[in-house]
């Protein structure tokens, strides 16, 4: 005789909510990764009717809920997880190759992102490269009109190498200046990325480089 189905199954609820939050975290993360950055981007840009700021709020909340329900899911499935940590046929916990492989992947991703190794840096610069032609065209139009406002307001979108070329500064010298302030930077990093590391607005980097 089959057991009567319960009106509300908590495990099913947790699993479905975990899947929904994961999907929304991925979607909102991808949107924010490809969204244009800049002081006016949050007001001028929208995707599926949501501004960049609204997507950021969605991302934060779905990631938060995903973390909570993920922990609950972990607790509900603790027995299978503990089984994975055991050597088959042995009731003791020992070091397994799978542990090393998982830790190695995590370490490589962390180090590659932090030190901006080629594949990681190239991927992180993808949004900037996608908008590079339009930015260059816009810059050319401003130059043709004899205006320099774009150079002043668009500093966050420029790479360190581009900024140094514009200001007649050696990239190696700029890197040394930032290193003296405890910042590890690369020529292909955007000024906004460097500003985020320094905890300042991109426009303040100009003063740092001019008066080290």
* pLDDT tens-digit readout, 107-158: 998 888 888 787 777 777 776 666 554 444 444 444 444 444 334 446 778 8
Report the pLDDT value the prediction gives residue 149, as an integer from 0 to 100.
Answer: 39
| pLDDT band per the 50, 70, 90 thresholds, residue 35 | confident
Report the pLDDT value the prediction gives residue 20, as an integer from 0 to 100.
Answer: 92
* pLDDT tens-digit readout, 153-211: 467 788 888 888 888 888 889 888 888 888 888 888 888 888 888 888 888 888 888 87
Nearest Cα residue to 28 out of 53, 50, 55, 51: 55
* pLDDT tens-digit readout, 51-82: 888 888 899 999 999 999 989 988 888 887 77
> What Å distances lie between residue 85 and 76, 104, 195, CA to CA?
16, 17, 43
String of DSSP letters for 123-172? HHTHHHHHHHHHHHHHHHHHHHTT--HHHHH-GGGSBHHHHHHHHT--HH
- Show me where the domains of the chain are located: 10-94, 95-124, 132-139+147-210
pLDDT higher than 90, residue 1: no
**Helix 160-167, helix 171-180: angle, nearest 10:** 120
Buried b (16+ CB within 10 A) or exposed e, 40-52: eebeebeeeeebb
Average pLDDT for the chain: 77
């Amino acid at each position: 005789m089959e057991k009567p189905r319960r009106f509300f199954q908590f495990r099913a609820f947790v699993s479905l909510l975990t899947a929904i939050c994961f999907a929304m975290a991925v979607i909102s993360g991808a949107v924010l990764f490809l969204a244009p950055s800049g002081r006016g981007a949050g007001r001028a840009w929208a995707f599926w009717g949501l501004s960049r700021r609204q997507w950021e709020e969605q991302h934060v909340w779905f990631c938060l809920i995903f973390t909570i329900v993920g922990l609950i899911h972990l607790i509900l499935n603790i027995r299978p997880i503990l089984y994975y940590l055991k050597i088959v046929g042995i009731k003791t916990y020992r070091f397994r190759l799978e542990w090393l492989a998982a830790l190695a992947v995590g370490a490589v991703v962390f180090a590659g992102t932090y030190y901006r190794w080629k594949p990681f840096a190239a991927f992180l610069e993808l949004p900037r490269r996608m908008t590079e032609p339009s930015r260059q065209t816009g810059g050319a139009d401003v130059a043709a009109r004899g205006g320099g406002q774009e150079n002043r307001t668009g500093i966050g979108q420029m790479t360190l190498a581009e900024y140094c070329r514009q200001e007649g500064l050696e990239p190696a010298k700029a890197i040394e200046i930032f290193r003296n302030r405890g910042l590890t930077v690369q020529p292909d990093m955007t000024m906004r990325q460097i500003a985020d590391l320094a905890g300042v607005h991109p426009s303040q980097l100009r003063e740092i480089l001019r008066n080290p």
